[in-house]
Structure 1
């Protein structure tokens, strides 16, 4: 069983034999980071193993406290922590996101982090990896969850005839929305919040074509009727009583999309069928679930897989 190699602690998934964590929630000696979202990457660890673009975002957000020693690795570039062999593979979640394959005693243990299978030109495409043991996110692991096509959601913006305040997470979502608007809503002018613009620039630094966008200014918004102002969720909530703009929010979560004129279900996580596809293609017979509710998945797989719910 995988318990020989990893255990879930209050800090995160820990490998006691070789003293490293996967996505720790506090600073540690050895942190192997799947991606730069705040619930997976924290500041201050001594040795930080991650992809190059993940380091760039962490340094943007945490400045000098991002980490003492960054050990940057490309996808497929294996490295060792003592006798554990570790390799990153693209997770398709955001730019630089990685599945983490850990090989110990001939066992292949694959930690997905957050992932999606959908095509998305703002990040590297998902890679299927064979594993003996799969530790998967289950954010949307419900048979009732099927994410719609992102392109069919974004074109709903074309029906509006006034400026739009668009709520989206600053890292990953905002860049994907910018690219989608430029490709499918060419009549709209994209403005971005000052906190989002530096992340847009990092994406472009790594060769991602987001299309046209500009930093928000009040004058541009005031004198146009076809602008989309992309803002983070906290800023979006401050516009809830505004009547002179349309309010749109994009998420896989319906309950986050309040005070909206339109809800766009654009998710950067795997839905039910994508999780099942991952399990099948990985060929793993032992499954651990994390980051969500794994009970329905455990019931679904009861005759074919050993399933352990980590976070119950």
Structure 2
């Protein structure tokens, strides 16, 4: 029997009362199952954190000694139990080490996707389709009007300008993907990286991800060479230098509002779009879909009279 209260939303985060643990809690807790290391899913300070090895590495860099009291590192496909709930991680394809969380209790399988994408990405493990009775999916871009373009077509736009480019990208995940895409599809570009991004790049390489060539940002190079330089910066730097001269601005994101007032639009997202969510639902073949992290209204309308879609947020 499907338990409607298997996962509930609390001020602390997603709570599983039957296992007495939280999924991606937003406050320190005793038992935290963490899908990936982005700050809106992974915070420091919990007692026990269950995650993949890469997620542990990123959290330890970001939160230092306050990352967790104890980490419990689990490989993909390795089942473990928290109280009476059996848990198994499967790759989510979002960033390196990102995991879907399959929870089994009283013969029912509940699959929490965390953030995910199903398109190929050479900088992280590919998404795995897993059968489940309940699919608890992010719905960040659950809109029929949203279709992410090919990341290759998008990155190749940068070949159309010889000018130096200031490229905004999230420090963890997006920046490493952009470095790899630039090396593969924009070979004439010299890639430079903001110092705050470099530790995450090194962790990626420690886990065997080959990103290609890049250098630490050099102000003299950007100033003296006015062509073919791409400087990758985190969002805070990108927005603080909104009047930067002698550069074309671009920001790698699926959000339209982040493309405004830039010289080049760069729609590269690490989330599932509408078609990807529908494909995931089809292949997971759940009895019900529960939505999170976005607006599930249009999914609910789409599956009306065919399948129950419950909006958790």
TM-score by length of 2: 0.98
User: Is 2:269 the partner of 1:276?
Assistant: no
What SS does the aligned partner of 1:3 have? coil
What SS does the aligned partner of 1:208 have? coil
Residues in 1 aligned to 2:100 and 2:308: alpha-carbon distance in whole angstroms: 21
Partner of 1:221: 222
CA offsets 1:173-232 (integer angstroms, 9 cap, x no match): 100000000000000010000110100000000000000011112122223221100001
Partner of 2:133: 132
User: Is 2:243 the partner of 1:248?
Assistant: no
Residues in 2 aligned to 1:2 and 1:10: alpha-carbon distance in whole angstroms: 21
1:242 deviates by: 2.2
Equivalent pairs counted in the alignment come to 311
Runs of 5+ consecutive residues of structure 1 not aligned to the other structure: none
What SS does the aligned partner of 1:2 have? coil
Tell me, yes or no, if the aligned pair for 1:2 and 1:133 is still in contact at 8 Å: no
User: Is 2:68 the partner of 1:67?
Assistant: yes
CA root-mean-square deviation:
0.9
What SS does the aligned partner of 1:25 have? coil
Residues in 1 aligned to 2:4 and 2:121: alpha-carbon distance in whole angstroms: 35
Tell me, yes or no, if the aligned pair for 1:119 and 1:125 is still in contact at 8 Å: yes
1:4 deviates by: 3.9
Partner of 2:235: 233
User: Is 2:28 the partner of 1:27?
Assistant: yes
Residues in 2 aligned to 1:257 and 1:195: alpha-carbon distance in whole angstroms: 23
Tell me, yes or no, if the aligned pair for 1:7 and 1:15 is still in contact at 8 Å: yes
Partner of 1:110: 111
CA offsets 1:46-88 (integer angstroms, 9 cap, x no match): 0000000000000000000000000000000111111210000
What SS does the aligned partner of 2:4 have? helix
CA offsets 1:71-130 (integer angstroms, 9 cap, x no match): 000000111111210000000000000000000001100000000011000000000000
Partner of 2:97: 96
Tell me, yes or no, if the aligned pair for 1:136 and 1:287 is still in contact at 8 Å: yes
Partner of 1:170: 171
Partner of 2:196: 195
Residues in 1 aligned to 2:114 and 2:16: alpha-carbon distance in whole angstroms: 16
User: Is 2:152 the partner of 1:151?
Assistant: yes
1:163 deviates by: 1.0
Partner of 2:86: 85
What SS does the aligned partner of 2:153 have? helix
Tell me, yes or no, if the aligned pair for 1:285 and 1:304 is still in contact at 8 Å: no
CA offsets 1:235-257 (integer angstroms, 9 cap, x no match): 01122212311111110001122
Residues in 2 aligned to 1:185 and 1:254: alpha-carbon distance in whole angstroms: 23
Residues in 2 aligned to 1:86 and 1:13: alpha-carbon distance in whole angstroms: 15
Residues in 2 aligned to 1:207 and 1:155: alpha-carbon distance in whole angstroms: 25
